[in-house]
């Protein structure tokens, strides 16, 4: 049986190493590497111009495979917020309560991001940035999207 704990519940419980969600595809891995390096870049379709997030192997609009990675300014509008009290993924369960929000970027991409302490309320303008998170449970470092005042 796999899961958070490696031993039956009748014996001592020892946590096992956990990693954040796996990127799953080459495009997802490319996005994760950029975010971990602190670079907010998204795929832009060279055929139709659509910006897409999350990363995919094809353009979600025209199915072209001609996708370029381009730096984004991250400007958009905060739509809604919530507080995560129990992260669904074991990799994040050691963290305190976190505020997250839904942001509609000016490029018509919608993202979910952590909210920094100075992030304005919903319906206000925000900027998302990519921040490196060296505290990943596997020690490898990961990228986080964070919304802040523009």
Among 59, 115, 126, 146, binds Zn ion (CB under 5 A): 59
Nearer to Zn ion, 49 or 87 (CB): 49
8 Å CB contact between 63 and 48: no
Nearer to Zn ion, 67 or 131 (CB): 67
Output the CA angle 106-108-110, nearest 5 degrees. Answer: 100
Interface region with Zn ion, contact rule CB under 5 A, candidates 57-65, 77-85, 107-115, 128-136: 57-65
Separation CA 105–CA 72 (nearest Å): 10
DSSP secondary structure code for residue 90 in this structure: G
DSSP secondary structure code for residue 59 in this structure: -
Among 4, 13, 16, 62, binds Zn ion (CB under 5 A): 62
Residue located via tokens 């319906």:
123
Nearer to Zn ion, 47 or 112 (CB): 47
Interface region with Zn ion, contact rule CB under 5 A, candidates 23-31, 58-66, 95-103, 114-122: 58-66
Q: Which helix (H) or strand (E) holds 70?
A: strand 67-71
Mark residues 21-50: x for contact with Zn ion by CB under 5 A, - for none.
Answer: ------------------------x-xx-x
8 Å CB contact between 113 and 101: yes
Q: Which residues of the shown chain bind Zn ion in the complex (CB under 5 A)? A: 45, 47-48, 50, 59, 61-62, 64
């Amino acid at each position: 049986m796999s899961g958070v704990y490696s031993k039956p519940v009748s014996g001592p419980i020892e946590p096992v190493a956990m990693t954040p969600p796996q990127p799953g595809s080459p495009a997802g891995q490319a996005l994760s590497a950029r975010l971990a390096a602190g670079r907010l870049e998204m795929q832009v379709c060279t055929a139709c111009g659509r910006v897409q997030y999350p990363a995919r192997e094809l353009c979600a609009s025209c199915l072209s495979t001609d996708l370029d990675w381009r730096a984004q300014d991250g400007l958009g509008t905060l739509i809604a917020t919530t507080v995560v009290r129990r992260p669904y993924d074991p990799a994040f369960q050691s963290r305190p309560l976190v505020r997250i929000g839904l942001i509609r970027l000016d490029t018509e991409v919608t993202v979910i991001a952590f909210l920094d302490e100075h992030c304005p309320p919903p319906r206000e303008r925000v900027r998302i940035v990519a921040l490196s998170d060296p505290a990943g449970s596997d020690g490898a470092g990961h990228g986080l999207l964070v919304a802040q005042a523009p």
